[in-house]
Chain A
C-alpha cells in the first residue's frame, strides 16, 4: 500500500553538519594545562651572601610536617586567613611600623614615581609537609598578589589587571612584583 515517497533533499545536510561542527569547535575547550607559575631563584654561587633584608620587610611563613602554619611567630589555624594577612603586609595602608615599608620608586615607563612595597614573603616548608598544603599556601599568596595588582591597575588605569594591554601589565608587574622567597626546607618530619 505504501506510496512511492519522494526523495528527500539532503543538500542542506552538509550545512547542518558544518554548523554542528563549528558549534562544538567553539564550545569545547581543549584540555589545557593550568597551574601556579613561579620563577625559581638562580643557585647561590659559592661565597655569595643572600641580600640582607630588614626584619620588618619579611613575612615569614613556616609550615611544619603536620601542615600547621606559623606566620611571623604566631600560629594560624586557617590557611584562608593568609590572603588577607599577606595583602595587609604588602600594601600596609596605615603605615604600620611592623609591616612592610612602602617606598616611592621612579618607574621609567610610567614617567613618575609609584609606591612600591619592599615586603618579601618567605616560605619555609618541612620535608614532611604535604604538597597539597604547600599549594594551598602558594594559592593564597597568588590570590593576595592578584588582588593587589588589580587594585593598583584600577588606581592607575581604571581597569582590572586582566584587561590591561601588555605594556601596562609590565608596568603593574614592576610596581607589584611577586616577591616570594623560599628558604631551604627544614628536615624534622621526613626521612628523605
Chain B
C-alpha cells in the first residue's frame, strides 16, 4: 500500500570538493599570465601615439624604459607644473641624469647583453619634440643606440 514511502531523514548529499583545487589553480595561472608585473608605478601620464607599422620588442629583460609625460596627479601638477617630465625607474629625472641611468641599467645586465639592450622611449603624444631630442642626444653620448619609440598598434588603412 505504501508506494510513496516517506523517508525519515532527508540527507543532503555531500559535494565532492576534490576538483575545487583545480579550478582555483586554473584561475591562479590565468591571472599570473595576463597580469604583467609593473616594477615601478608611473607618476607621468602617458598615452603613446598610434602607428601601423610596429615591431614587437623581443627580449623583455633587455629593455629599459624612459618615460616622458606631464605629471599625472593633481598634487604633482600643483608642485611641478604641467611641463613634461622624465621618469626613470621610480623617480623624476633631468635630461642630464640619462647617462647615469644608462650606465646603471647596463651594470645590472650580463656583459654580453649590454650592447644589445633596447631603450624604449615611452613618450606621451602631446609632448613636444624638444625634450625627446635632448634625450636622444644623451643616449647617443652614452652609446645607447638601439631605441624603440613605444606606440600602440593601429589597424592599417585600406583604400
Name A's B-contacting residues (CB within 8 A). Answer: 1-2, 4-8, 10-11, 13-14, 17-18, 20-21, 24-25, 28, 30-43, 80, 125-132, 134-136, 138-139, 142-143, 146, 182, 184-185, 187, 190, 192
Contacts and interface: CB of A to CB of B under 8 A. Distances in A.
A100 B123 CA distance: 33
A25 B149 contact: no
Contacts of A1: 6, 10
Contact of A130 (B126, B141, B145, B147): B126
A80 B143 CA distance: 33
Interface in B21-47: 22-23, 25-26, 29-30, 33-34, 36
B16 interface: yes
Contacts, number: 170
Contact of B30 (A10, A21, A30): A21
Interface residues of B, number: 58
A13 B57 contact: no
B19 A36 contact: no
A36 B51 contact: yes
A13 B49 contact: no
B128 interface: yes
Nearest to B132: A131
Contact of A142 (B25, B53, B144): B53
Contacts of A126: 129
Contact of A35 (B23, B57, B133, B140): B57
